[in-house]
Structure 1
Amino acid sequence: MDPNKAAELFILNHFPNCYGSVLAGSVVRGEATETSDLDIVIFEKNLKTAYRESVIEYGWNIEVFVHNLTSYKEFFKSDCERARPSLPKMVSEGIVLKDSGILDLIKHEANELLDKGPEEWSVDTIKVKRYFITDTLDDFIGSTLRAEEIFIANTLAELVSEFVLRTNRQWIGASKWIVRSLKNYDEKFAGHFVEAFDTFYKTGDKNMIIVMVDEILQPFGGRLFQGFSLGK
């Protein structure tokens, strides 16, 4: 079934009295795959506690995010504090399925948060991140066991992508959203980032990753080990 029609029927059958609902996710962005689901955000007036539920209906996996008219604000806040604005993004990009006049304001709140970007990292936070990237990079360079190298590389990719994005006041992501977040920031850099790790995974050559990480750290003082301390 067409995703919009499936979402409309789902709302009609399960949340007929809701104050508002939006369809979000990959089907809205035109990025749907064979395993994509429908992300639906629903606003109920008298709901006591926000919740999330997964169901299968109309031939679709459906992820439902149900909020009352205040609970979404706390989720907006916590999502932005961790720099992964999942709910604001869903609300912002979502196609309206039903609206009793509340969604313009909620979408405006989401857009303001997204446009503002995450909080700037402090000098101390950058130092801590530099140290852990350095520590992981050293492990990566020194490792001679292929099984260990693979997973060290995974950790390094997460740390480095987070560092690049947060030091440039950009939202971060996990899993597939690492690459998507990097592309949103700088498509050329994202391509270089993917190429460096892809080369390592295919050939075992670490050089592109090492050079890239050093170039990223250089404006902030380079690798950090000597003199670093926590909790002293």
Structure 2
Amino acid sequence: MREVLIDQAKRLVAERHPDASAVVLAGSVAAGRARAGSDLDLAVLLPDGRETHRETLRHEGRVVEVFAHTGAGLAELRAFDAASRRGVVQQLYATGLVLLDRDGRVARIVADCRAELLTGPPPLGPEQRENLRYALTDLLDDLGDAPDRLEALAIGAEVLRTAADLLSDHHRAWTGTGKWFPRRLLAADPDLGRRLLEAHRALGETGDPTALAAAATAALALAGGPLSVGYRRGWPPAARGAAPGGKR
């Protein structure tokens, strides 16, 4: 199966990007987890002057995600993904399978992306961290006062995300969305991360927020503890986080 998908990826690039200088096949195929219906994730390095873009297409009946970059565009995306603390592009190149490298550049890119992932994202600034502490403190108050399960579930989702952001920052670990959210959270802190995830599931199953509140409070403690009275921010905010006087 893997060799079949690799050959298909090479045909797609030859058809659509014959001038590509490098191609990296990522995702489930590179990880050896591909199934019959798996899509293809391709990073394609284009010559300068071309457009950096992302495109979803169907090739030979299979969905393909193409992440096409010029050298300058890739550098911008790496900086953006580092600042967002998600490291998406870095993960794409660092864990992928190199299918083409005409000039040796992608080998250096792969090495640099692996180093960036190992180093972790830059730490949050003091104001960003305070914003998250304030937001989580406020959310935990709301969670304890939620009048019904629907509100508790909505608040609980925000509690989980905000606690995960603080916990990931504490460990200088990358964050994620979708399926990558639990994967990255468990990688950041296998014990407390699992407590948060299982407590969020328990909230959905039973409506009881006790376990989630306890796990999120533990994450908050690692970041400096609750923050409420004394919090003040001007507008516009200087850093990402809660707007003054409101929720994140």
Q: TM-score, normalised by structure 2?
A: 0.86
**Structure 1 residues 20-169: aligned runs within 5 Å:** 20-32=22-34, 36-100=38-102, 101-169=104-172
Consecutive unaligned residues of structure 2, counting only runs of 5 or more, are 236-248
User: How far apart are residue 76 of structure 1 and its match?
Assistant: 0.6
Rounded to whole Å, the distance in 2 between the matches of 1:33 and 1:133 is 40
| Distance change in 2, residues 1:219/1:42 (3 Å) | closer
Rounded to whole Å, the distance in 1 between the matches of 2:186 and 2:140 is 23
User: How far apart are residue 5 of structure 1 and its match?
Assistant: 2.1
Rounded to whole Å, the distance in 2 between the matches of 1:35 and 1:182 is 27
On the 8 A contact 1:52/1:66 being kept in 2, the answer is yes
Rounded to whole Å, the distance in 2 between the matches of 1:103 and 1:186 is 31
State the secondary structure of the residue aligned to 2:71.
Answer: coil
User: How far apart are residue 214 of structure 1 and its match?
Assistant: 1.5
User: How far apart are residue 33 of structure 1 and its match?
Assistant: 6.0
Rounded to whole Å, the distance in 2 between the matches of 1:75 and 1:55 is 21
Rounded to whole Å, the distance in 1 between the matches of 2:83 and 2:229 is 30
Rounded to whole Å, the distance in 1 between the matches of 2:197 and 2:223 is 22
Residue type at the aligned position of 1:13: E
Percent of paired sites with the same residue? 27
State the secondary structure of the residue aligned to 2:167.
Answer: helix
User: How far apart are residue 32 of structure 1 and its match?
Assistant: 4.3
| Distance change in 2, residues 1:94/1:165 (3 Å) | same
| Distance change in 2, residues 1:146/1:34 (3 Å) | farther
Match of 1:193 in 2: 196
On the 8 A contact 1:47/1:67 being kept in 2, the answer is no
RMSD: 1.9
Matched, 1:170 2:198: no
User: How far apart are residue 164 of structure 1 and its match?
Assistant: 0.4
Matched, 1:181 2:207: no
What are the superposed Cα offsets for residues 104-154 of structure 1, whole Å, 9 maximum, x if unpaired? 111122122222211112333222111001111111111112222211111
Matched, 1:210 2:213: yes
Residue type at the aligned position of 2:65: E
Residue type at the aligned position of 1:227: G
State the secondary structure of the residue aligned to 1:150.
Answer: helix
On the 8 A contact 1:24/1:93 being kept in 2, the answer is yes
On the 8 A contact 1:23/1:97 being kept in 2, the answer is yes
User: How far apart are residue 182 of structure 1 and its match?
Assistant: 1.4
| Distance change in 2, residues 1:138/1:231 (3 Å) | same
Rounded to whole Å, the distance in 2 between the matches of 1:32 and 1:152 is 36
Rounded to whole Å, the distance in 1 between the matches of 2:32 and 2:95 is 12
Rounded to whole Å, the distance in 1 between the matches of 2:197 and 2:23 is 36
Count matched residues: 232
Residue type at the aligned position of 2:64: I
Rounded to whole Å, the distance in 2 between the matches of 1:5 and 1:148 is 49
